[in-house]
Amino acid sequence: MQALRGSDAAQRIVTPQDETYTDARLGEKIQFEQFPALITYAKDPREIAPLIKCAQREGVKAVPRNGGHQLGLRTSEQRASANHVSFSSYSALTDTLVIDLGHINYVEVSRDRKTARVGAGIRLGALYMALDQYNTSFAGGICPTVGLTGLVGAGGFNMQMRALGVSSDHVLSAKVVTADGKTLAASATSNPDLFWAIRGGGGGTYGIVVELMLQLTQLPRSAMVDLSWNTTQSRFPVAKRFLEWAPRQPKEFTSQINIHKSTVQILGWYLGGSKKELQALINDSGLLEIGDPHSQIGGDCSTDNSRIFGIVTSECLPDDKVDASILNVVPDPFAKYEDSAQFTFAEHPITTSRATAEPWSRFRRLSKSFFVQKDNLLGDDIVREVVDRVAQLDDAAQVWAEWHAWNLSATGNSAFAWGDQAYAHLEFQAHGSNDSATQAVYEKWFMDLESYLRPAVG
């Protein structure tokens, strides 16, 4: 408790004996494999070094948690293990001291609105809401509950990336607390190796990032597309054409395909493009000639409208009709888990001018992902096979494949390894089951997918 500052320190510590422990140890993923020794909620960057030293004195590892989506680097043993399925709760490991950063979420925009000094625990939705007040934004990801440093630490997929690069390319500097308790400035000129590593090299691997200086971007009004097919037989030809077509389009167009058991959908953001330009792009794609698609193309979309397109709405609406409240998340944004008591502390949204986001649903997530490289594209037989596999599990699994077009126009100097060679990113996700036998079937599906697809992509 001495590591935390202020009279509210006791409120920001959760032990396994507390009724809020289950809620506090869970992020977005519901899991019963990892049980931290203690969970702490920092609200000041100056608390991080004392917490690290506390963990060292007690002989436990200090584990940072930003967004709670719990992505992380794998060990060599985990990479080699056929049993490894990602989203493995690396920010809430057993017998560790979890340092939750979610309440270190300040945003200070420079006078020229070109940069912002940001608390490392802020979630993307809250960051966008804060920057809205300055009519500017950041090249960040889709999900509003993802934490900023988790995004940047993994590179930073976003729907503007084919033109602007991944999110880590837009970080100018950082403050990082290292294992010896020192707070270091990291930039291109100060500790450049550390600066290189924390951008795309894995969250929490080289130190705990407590602050970021971001390069801001006033994103232009854009055109958006939502194409959908409601027949099983359309899934393979649409997926095949998407992979052939989408990564080769103008750099301003970033898109993804969502393949479900009996439907398929394509979403795209044409940064700065008009409805007419996007319509021409889609007309030339060959996609409209497959089956009987429903096509929704809009123009003059605001940035907030673009961020929620395909999630909340599939229209480009007048600005005063855009409900972007899903972005206005609180520091602990996840829904209550069953009958467990919920941890709360200063759960205030970044702005009161918008409605507060509804709690974000948790689920038993299973996931695997693969990069397709430019010099090793997938053959039609492989694409057909993996599309067919999406339909193999029962409806309760809600399996879907979410594939993104890459082929970036420019990449920054960071530890993110895929910037130059990535052609597409293939992610597969499912909802797990409370039933152990059913869960075993689901996990075997992912392991079989790994065994089949990994040799093909490398």
Angle at 209 between CA 68 and CA 45, to 5 degrees: 95
* pLDDT above 70 (res 72): no
Cα 353 from Cα 406, distance rounded (Å): 36
**Any idea how long the chain is?**
458
pLDDT per residue as tens digits for the range 326-366: 999 999 999 999 999 999 999 999 999 999 999 999 989 89
Q: What is the DSSP letter of 271?
A: T
Kindly indicate the confidence band of residue 105, based on its pLDDT and cuts at 50, 70 and 90.
very high
- Beta strand pairing status for 97-100 and 107-109? unpaired
Distances, alpha carbon 377 to alpha carbons 243, 255, 404, 406, 434, in Å: 9, 18, 14, 13, 37
* pLDDT above 50 (res 48): yes
* pLDDT above 70 (res 305): yes
| Residue % of the chain over a pLDDT of 70 | 95
Q: Answer for the pair 104, 45: CB distance below 8 angstroms, yes or no.
A: yes
- pTM for the model stands at 0.94
Kindly indicate the confidence band of residue 83, based on its pLDDT and cuts at 50, 70 and 90.
very low
Mean pLDDT of the chain: 93
Signed CA dihedral, 421, 186, 329, 131: sign only: negative
* pLDDT above 90 (res 230): yes
Largest alpha-carbon pair distance within the chain?
66
pLDDT of residue 293: 98
The residue among 397 and 30 whose pLDDT is bigger is 397
Q: Answer for the pair 236, 382: CB distance below 8 angstroms, yes or no.
A: no
pLDDT of residue 281: 98
pLDDT of residue 205: 82
Radius of gyration of the chain (CA): 22
Of 117, 142, 42, 127, the C-alpha closest to 351 is: 127
Cα 189 from Cα 174, distance rounded (Å): 12
Mean local confidence (pLDDT), 42-49: 96
Kindly indicate the confidence band of residue 70, based on its pLDDT and cuts at 50, 70 and 90.
low
Give the three-state DSSP class for 140: coil
| Residue % of the chain over a pLDDT of 90 | 87
Kindly indicate the confidence band of residue 35, based on its pLDDT and cuts at 50, 70 and 90.
very high
Cα 300 from Cα 314, distance rounded (Å): 13
Which of these ranges, 43-57, 66-80, 95-109, 164-178, has the smallest mean pLDDT?
A: 66-80
pLDDT per residue as tens digits for the range 431-457: 999 999 999 999 999 999 999 999 999
Angle at 27 between CA 137 and CA 328, to 5 degrees: 30
Cα 175 from Cα 184, distance rounded (Å): 6
The residue among 68 and 446 whose pLDDT is bigger is 446
pLDDT per residue as tens digits for the range 164-217: 999 999 999 999 999 999 999 999 999 999 999 999 998 778 999 999 999 999
pLDDT of residue 89: 56
Distinct helix (H) and strand (E) counts, the chain: 12, 16
Of 216, 240, 221, the C-alpha closest to 229 is: 240
Q: Answer for the pair 267, 315: CB distance below 8 angstroms, yes or no.
A: no
pLDDT of residue 411: 86
Q: Answer for the pair 134, 121: CB distance below 8 angstroms, yes or no.
A: no
pLDDT of residue 2: 78
pLDDT of residue 1: 60
Of 450, 425, 412, the C-alpha closest to 196 is: 412
Mean local confidence (pLDDT), 253-277: 97
pLDDT of residue 90: 64
Cα 168 from Cα 269, distance rounded (Å): 20
**Six-digit token pair at 243?**
């992979």
Nearby residues of 173 by Cβ (< 8 Å), 6 or more positions away: 185, 186, 187, 188, 190, 195, 212, 213
pLDDT of residue 28: 87
Mean local confidence (pLDDT), 97-106: 96
Which amino acid appears at position 32 of this protein? F
pLDDT of residue 202: 84
Cα 2 from Cα 456, distance rounded (Å): 52
Cα 25 from Cα 68, distance rounded (Å): 9
Angle at 90 between CA 85 and CA 96, to 5 degrees: 140
**Six-digit token pair at 110?**
């420079």
Query: What φ, ψ does residue 299 adopt, rounded to 5°?
Result: -130, 170
